[in-house]
Amino acid sequence: MKVYLDNAATTPMAPEVLEAMMPFFTTHFGNPSSTHQFGRTVKSAVETARKSIARQLNCSPMEICFTSGGTEADNMAINGAVSQLGVRHIISSEVEHHAVLHTVAHCHTDRDIRISMVDLDKQGHVNIAHLRKLLADSEEKTLVSLMHANNEIGTMIDLDEIGDICAEYGALFHSDTVQTMGHFKLDMAKTKVHFITGAAHKFHGPKGVGFLYLSKDVHIEPLIRGGSQERNMRAGTENIYGIVGMAKALEMACADIEGHQKYVQGLKDYMKKQLCEKVRNVTVNGCEDRSLYTVLNVKLPPTDNASMLLFLMDIDGIACSGGSACSSGSNQGSHVLRALHVDQKSPNVRFSFSRYTTREEIDYAVERLVHHLNPIPVMH
């Protein structure tokens, strides 16, 4: 039996998405920058996709810039805020995705940008009082960069609350929304955020394509130069089939967000209940209430198989992870759990779910996990 429980790393592409993409691999092969009918047909598809994504976010199509994914979009927002918008101080947190943390660190070492890390509680929640103090004490133009939902433990911020605080202090606000795009309803007309990011493969679209939302109130220069594509915002021939697929995937995701959330939250609750009943001393990492419903990160009891647990699960045909896929190969463990002082000598495992996950798959995963945790006694 093959069980995929690593949807926070990537999701399987929906068949309907592939179907929408196929004509652009074959019939509609023109370059969208060409002025003949082959190019115009493809250009029209790009702009239709842009309008579709903007409609889902309740923003203007002019505020959507297509990128190669979430990492490029995060880089574009942060570097642009520093280079063109006068930012000299960045407030972030130690549990951000490395697409943000490494970019912020680069701004500090290469551009002498001051960096402040906001305090977090043990569940990964932002200390709002400390954020306000950092903003109140800042005399420089400031960018706040805080992810909507943590990709490892699922803890979420309130986008509207943080946006209002940033507006109160005149700060720019960037949020990495890669894990929540297509899973929560986002309204850019109501939320005071200057930059958000999306990656198609997190909501059953293709890999290698994403977008940056830039509020009409800001303008930044291209990160990639060499052509006038994307209204001079990003040079390079567009990933046509990726863009078309991403628009279709987001349209499908947003068509029934409430139903999707109810189903996937039910899977998460079911697995958590099964683990708590069958494994002694299992605890949830992160917040159990204000949390991303697609992610369940648990700390398991010590076992002789700790270092081999994910490998053994993989042999059983079960895909899960110890943290972000972007950090695989690192022997330092999870930077998120380390920042929250979670013991990483015991195994910590992230399970993440999608619309295609079933209870039968969860039953099998729990059964094999309990088997590998032996001889730790289980509760009956």
pLDDT at 343: 79
What is the residue-level pLDDT of the chain in tens, covering all 380 positions? Answer: 999 999 999 999 999 999 999 999 999 999 999 999 999 999 999 999 999 999 999 999 999 999 999 999 999 999 999 999 999 999 999 999 999 999 999 999 999 999 999 999 999 999 999 999 999 999 999 999 999 999 999 999 999 999 999 999 999 999 999 999 999 999 999 999 999 999 999 999 999 999 999 999 999 988 889 887 888 889 899 999 999 999 999 999 999 999 999 999 999 999 999 999 999 889 999 988 889 999 999 999 887 777 799 999 999 999 999 865 554 444 567 999 999 888 777 889 999 999 999 999 999 999 999 999 874 444 44
pLDDT tens for each residue of 274-308: 999 999 889 999 988 889 999 999 999 887 777 79
pLDDT at 207: 98
Q: Residues 166-205, buried b or exposed e (16+ Cβ, 10 A)?
A: beeeebbbbbbbbbbbbbbebebeebbbbbbbbbbbbbbb
Q: Is 107 a catalytic residue?
A: no
Does the pTM surpass 0.75? The reply is yes
pLDDT at 375: 47
* DSSP state for residue 12 in the 8-state scheme: P
pLDDT at 329: 46
Q: Answer yes or no: are the C-beta atoms of 111 and 140 closer than 8 Å.
A: no
pLDDT at 286: 92
Rounded distance between C-alpha atoms, residue 319 and residue 317, angstroms: 7
Annotate 304-361 with DSSP letters as a single string. TTGGGHHHHHHHTTEE-BSS-GGGTT-SS--HHHHHTT---SS-EEEEE--TT--HHH
Rounded distance between C-alpha atoms, residue 25 and residue 180, angstroms: 29
211: helix, strand or coil: strand
Residue whose tokens read 């912020």 = 104
pLDDT tens for each residue of 33-55: 999 999 999 999 999 999 999 99
Q: Which domains does the chain have, with CATH numbers?
A: 3-11+256-373 (3.90.1150.10), 15-255 (3.40.640.10)
Annotate 230-287 with DSSP letters as a single string. HHHTS-S---HHHHHHHHHHHHHHHHTHHHHHHHHHHHHHHHHHHHHHHSTT-EESS-
CB count within 10 Å of CB 216 equals 11
Residue whose tokens read 């977008």 = 211
Catalytic residue among 254, 276, 287, 326: 326
